[in-house]
Structure 1
């Protein structure tokens, strides 16, 4: 065997470094003029040897009681649900549980929510409430869900239904599905389903971890990957001490925490982690960066290149800024996305353009803008709220609210429950007033629009402050508040009527925001306001558009334009390409898990996916997901993820069952 010549090795290395240095300083040059580097070194990325544990949503279930119904409840028939609720009532020394359940003003409901990863105790989630057929109820409209516990549950053969940890407690006003969008054909069934927006409060967090594949697991590899991730992503504790976001626990498991910049887009966070290189030498990284610089200018490779450069960190910023001048919007957009999550504001104009002009990029562009704490980002989002697209306007609003909810342009007005006149001077009573929803009145220049939410958080956003109801007017805001106005009148009467009490009446202008405020002062809750606005829109008392959950979505098709320098007779149009995956948008824009289940495209185990924002062929078909609850079954639904333990958590045992105090007052 021929021996190596040390002089030859030294000379080869020196030439390679010279070429790399020349390539690094020419970031502004177009791809054709940049040197190729002359070296091809393979780099292993974290995603090649790992999966993520605890990413998919976990179904939490419970059985609860809806009260305050106007005679639309019922005595539930014997069932597993009734037994569970009776046991809970008896456990808390309720002496007449059967009398409570038999009341026509109460209804047994099944409560369910989806718990995503990386949330912390105190965070809020929507809950779905369903009155099963055995509940013998006719409507949940106007009801209040008493506090109940939500746990992991699974059906174990031979052992029955086993409970796991209690993760949340749920309560609040029920927004019946048929209230916002009534239909003669579906109203009866819809009134037995509903949501409590932000009704569940988490009591414990879920663990997220990186798992090494079996053929790669070892203490050495686990430590190397944890070190690579921890070097790239870190935070500081309350003492200012730097702490890594990844810590190796075993030879196959790495505990992972969320880096704060990605708190509203943790799918991207996990995608970037998959693209982190480990055991890469500085020379190999320089070679890879030069190659990625060229790939940023090609639409087919720009996304992958931008993710890898984002994973490298601050050293990639000059390359990404240069690609903002790429000839196609797609290449500019991918670079601007990476820059945003690296804390750079240079890509703001590109992100605003992408959100405005290309619906397939919109959800990701708005999420990226929400991370840039810069005055230009504020102004760009304000301008987008005056566009004509409903989802663009509300999406920009939500992005700005996420960026800075105290921004004076969008600052909301809390709609609190009215206080008893006898307690008007009680400071403690004032503090304990419950927040019904938040009203936002925006001074926008686009077409007037009113937006209501049926998911995530209760809020009404009025785009255009001077909107008025048209007369004649006859609207209901729940069963106790009515709004009327005669033809040609300049004012409206808002009246609260209740048995055995004098009517309360207020005269206000026809301004939409003013009517909402007054209705809340007289006792209307968020579901009642949604009912009022829906009636007004249906009766054409609301001349403007009423939009509901107008959120941009992931997984839309983008048609790449033809290359500018290719002969049109020789080149065929590019195949339509999906940007992102269905029902896997940034968590800033939460998905409808029920809709995802119906369409058979649940998130499943994301660990082996191609990425949340990764481009996939447009004709990719989703994999069907089996229904969790068997047809014609009155047993609790079985979550896909089994419970970790077979007993309730200590937290659930210590905390009192929330409905007990009010039930004792009533019975």
Structure 2
């Protein structure tokens, strides 16, 4: 038996030499290096960071918008449509028309009152099944249709698309869209052919029908191990959790592999998930109670001074309710920047002591405004609601509407702003305000008209149109308004109303005016000097503004801090205010798995035959290619 030992040793040496020749040892060295990095990081040894943010990355694939598209049919045009030529777009449209069992689809397409359009929507990072999202509508390149004004998008389906091996692959349907189209050229009365009439949008015009979207957080390559992924997920889960349908607590972070974990946004941050990610980045990877106590002492000093207050407030917010007393000390600082950051963190910890500071920041400092309003919206409290009501009396347009949106998010049934859903598929909100009269209109997130100064009236003489069929004129007496609907083949309908703007809007809506018709009517009224105040469209506070600090105190070691600082960026925009695709990256599309049971069966749809069989049907059967990705038309 002993004679075999040399042979075994020789075999082991041969294997090791073979590994060296095959260059396998570096692979094991890298794995061991990762494990060593993780051990040291968790123990707080060496120069490894103590904060989670230095070990994770949230990629564009999870933060980005998902682009979905479809081919739709617009009707109710006033002779500005076209019979679309044979193309993959027409083929797909006919397939959708058959799914809706519409009779004589070819005759419908030939009408000059209809047009084929490309429909696009962008699915935001945080979305739940049933949420409403904005829709963009445009004619395809080469279309001879003239204008989308007055058009209504018939129900259509939107899918993901991916370019695989030179071919466009279509994924499953994840949104359905329809509604009245608001053209880009607001207030333009011509029917000329230019981009403003060929493009439009439908605020909240699509319903998301896919799975809830959550975030995926990647672990840095040098620390990518199961242990590190589990450590970070558990650390986040102890701080942020909710409860399932059985009342059992569940963590909001779940490790999936060694490379990433799933992250659900806590409900308090649902309207500002960038803040949620900032807080998570400010969490400690691991620390003892003594280490936490020492760190909190340091942060309690940093929270008093503007240049260090932001970082300190995020770390204290990450610690949780235990840090509330320290954050309150920041409210006593003479520095507005320090008070603002302390109040922000307190709000997301559901503490209202910082409400006066948030109100002050929103009113006095434009750089802080958007973040202060979002923080107030996170509080379900009477003092925060009162602060937002007060802010609707200031002259700043963006502050007024920003406060309105924040209050509407916090308490949609608040009597001060409670609106009425109009027949024209939009909301009308009359709001009392001591400031100059203002009408605010929206093109994103929601079809909504807010009238600040609910008693403002139209100034005669009034001659306005709300769409192609409704005319608004001053009555002969001069103290009333006549609203008429005149349409071929219909009996003339008429409403007599007061000169109050809200009454005129309601009367026009009752006669069939849609949201785009009302918007164009109000823009026209402003251009004709029929309004007593201003009109604004999507006038909201923005991130990335510069805050100019006052001179540093003498003897302060922060004297070398910059005199001005940019506050936030487009990537930190609270989604309460903006989810436009130009402010968010677009996530790369991935092809759907053919075995997915939710993927619609093309064979089943092909079994349905259209009611009208003509030459276009032959074109439909012969060209089953998917439409290519849509390119924007040149302006």
TM surpasses 0.5: yes
Q: Which of the numbers 65, 68, 73 marks the counterpart of 1:60? A: 68
| Alpha-carbon distance, 1:98 to partner | 3.9
How far apart in 1 are the matches of 2:329 and 2:522? 49
How far apart in 2 are the matches of 1:467 and 1:254? 54
How far apart in 2 are the matches of 1:396 and 1:198? 21
Q: Which of the numbers 450, 455, 459 marks the counterpart of 2:448? A: 459
Contact 2:373–2:402 at 8 Å: present in 1 too? yes
Q: Which residue of 2 aligns with 1:146?
A: 154
Q: Which residue of 2 aligns with 1:516?
A: 505
1:392-420 Cα shifts (integer Å, max 9, x gaps): 00000000001100111001111125xxx
Unaligned 5+ residue runs, structure 1? 1-39, 418-435, 597-601, 605-638
2:301 is paired with a residue whose SS is helix
| Alpha-carbon distance, 1:325 to partner | 1.0
Are residues 198 and 401 of structure 1, via their aligned partners in 2, closer, same or farther at CA, if it must alter by over 3 Å? Answer: same
Q: Which residue of 1 aligns with 2:206?
A: 200
Question: 5 Å matches for 1:162-561?
Answer: 162-178=169-185, 180-182=186-188, 188-204=194-210, 205-416=212-423, 436-486=425-475, 489-561=478-550
How far apart in 2 are the matches of 1:579 and 1:487? 55
Unaligned 5+ residue runs, structure 2? 1-45, 613-635
Q: Which of the numbers 580, 583, 605 marks the counterpart of 1:592? A: 580
How far apart in 2 are the matches of 1:408 and 1:362? 24
Q: Which residue of 2 aligns with 1:622?
A: none
Q: Which residue of 2 aligns with 1:108?
A: 116
1:37-91 Cα shifts (integer Å, max 9, x gaps): xxx9976222111112511112111111111211111122344433332344456
1:435-462 Cα shifts (integer Å, max 9, x gaps): x111111111111111111111011111
Q: Which residue of 1 aligns with 2:26?
A: none
Q: Which residue of 2 aligns with 1:11?
A: none
Q: Which residue of 1 aligns with 2:51?
A: 45
| Alpha-carbon distance, 1:487 to partner | 7.3
| Alpha-carbon distance, 1:96 to partner | 4.8
Are residues 290 and 592 of structure 1, via their aligned partners in 2, closer, same or farther at CA, if it must alter by over 3 Å? Answer: same
How far apart in 1 are the matches of 2:392 and 2:193? 33
1:614-637 Cα shifts (integer Å, max 9, x gaps): xxxxxxxxxxxxxxxxxxxxxxxx
1:61 is paired with a residue whose SS is strand
- Which of the two has higher C-alpha Rg? 2
Q: Which residue of 2 aligns with 1:580?
A: 568
Contact 2:153–2:178 at 8 Å: present in 1 too? yes
Are residues 216 and 273 of structure 1, via their aligned partners in 2, closer, same or farther at CA, if it must alter by over 3 Å? Answer: same
| Alpha-carbon distance, 1:215 to partner | 1.8
Contact 2:146–2:191 at 8 Å: present in 1 too? no
How far apart in 1 are the matches of 2:587 and 2:285? 34
Q: Which residue of 1 aligns with 2:5?
A: none
Q: Which of the numbers 584, 607, 627 marks the counterpart of 1:603? A: 584
1:191 is paired with a residue whose SS is helix
Q: TM-score, normalised by structure 1?
A: 0.79
Contact 2:362–2:368 at 8 Å: present in 1 too? yes
Are residues 61 and 254 of structure 1, via their aligned partners in 2, closer, same or farther at CA, if it must alter by over 3 Å? Answer: same
